[in-house]
Structure 1
């Protein structure tokens, strides 16, 4: 199981120092939230900040997590910025639209974000043709500090029944005391935020994670 750091969960004044240390200690994934204050009552990262980070860490896999209305309007800009993985809200896109962007941008991995109230089977055709999917493991999106809802892991089996080869990213509720739940439920990439501050140093966190899950 790989670890991915959520940028929005890091203090903006110390973010580069924190990410530098995580990457130095082996982190290969970074999760970037884009929010519009309408879909969820928050704002996320700017395009300019995301482009800066992608250029700064060329060996890291960046994913864009869209929590916005009409997400298709952002695709071209996100591709220009350099994202190769983009997750869209499941209820904001249909199969025809998904197929079109997949054809237009063949070098980009597109997937859907499944919220707590989304049934994977309602989006079967998209899941079947995706390489990656983002499973929310909290009940309310758009905030930090939300508690894990372990019942949402039941969707992993449903997703794998549809597409056994798909990579599952989780987002939300990751804590030092529950990481085994993510691993045991076959999450491929676990997005975390405040978990890194449970350790005295970033190096301590990285060594702990890599020893358990690398």
Structure 2
């Protein structure tokens, strides 16, 4: 299975963001992952609109937006107009998630939902046939450097079974190390949001790291 590699740009070196994007482009990553937080839905502030615009301007690769915010529907048009290719939101933050999904798709953007560790598959199951991507949070969202929550694996297995009936791509986000990539690939995960556990802050260059990750065997 071809692994979808998505650098979590919250973990990039913002002192030299242009160099970071150029190096990641050269490493042939697949999707730039942009976390937008409001300090309410999660207890932190993530990247801002200007960060998104800058990265969007510097790459021709796909760029997604992960809206960890209240009332995400109010920002769909904004990020669509700014060039987002994929927009994730958390259904529990939205009174009318099906309407928000329709709005994302009407703007020519791929819709995705993000599922927190404490959110059950049953809660979001009615939406699975409406979205292109399902992002499974394997840590509680808001901060980098947390410990992987192993109980989420049961949710991954459950979603992999449901994917056979509906057409969506499964990605994971949170403490994704090389060992987790090998383990989760065999469970059916296709895409990996990579931060400090596997990509950023390492001695190797991004191209070497990404090539080695793509060649990791499934265990």
Q: Is 1:5 equivalent to 2:3 in the alignment?
A: no
Q: What CA RMSD, in Å, does the superposition of the two structures yield over aligned residues?
A: 1.8
Q: Report deviation, 1:38.
A: 1.2
**Which of residues 40, 43, 46 is equivalent to 1:41?**
43
Unaligned runs of 5+ in 1: none
Q: Report deviation, 1:206.
A: 2.1
Q: Is 1:141 equivalent to 2:141 in the alignment?
A: yes
Match of 2:121 in 1: 120
TM-score (norm 1): 0.90
1:134-158: CA deviation from partner (whole Å, max 9, x where unpaired): 11011x2100101112221221232
Match of 2:27 in 1: 25
Q: Contact (CA 8 Å) 2:132, 2:169: kept in 1 or not?
A: yes
Q: Report deviation, 1:99.
A: 4.8
* Alpha-carbon separation, structure 2, partners of 1:156 and 1:114: 11
Match of 2:161 in 1: 161
* Alpha-carbon separation, structure 2, partners of 1:111 and 1:71: 12
* Alpha-carbon separation, structure 2, partners of 1:37 and 1:96: 25
Q: Which runs of 4+ in 1 moved over 3 A?
A: 160-163
Match of 1:16 in 2: 18
TM-score (norm 2): 0.88
Q: Contact (CA 8 Å) 1:131, 1:167: kept in 2 or not?
A: yes
Q: Report deviation, 1:113.
A: 0.8
Q: Report deviation, 1:47.
A: 1.5
Q: Report deviation, 1:27.
A: 1.0
Match of 1:108 in 2: 109
* Alpha-carbon separation, structure 1, partners of 2:18 and 2:174: 22
Match of 1:200 in 2: 204
Q: Contact (CA 8 Å) 1:18, 1:202: kept in 2 or not?
A: no
* Alpha-carbon separation, structure 2, partners of 1:85 and 1:72: 14
| 1:79-94 → structure 2 map (5 Å cutoff) | 79-93=80-94, 94=96
Q: Is 1:174 equivalent to 2:181 in the alignment?
A: no
Q: Contact (CA 8 Å) 1:121, 1:158: kept in 2 or not?
A: no
Unaligned runs of 5+ in 2: none
1:171-199: CA deviation from partner (whole Å, max 9, x where unpaired): 00112333212212221110011122344
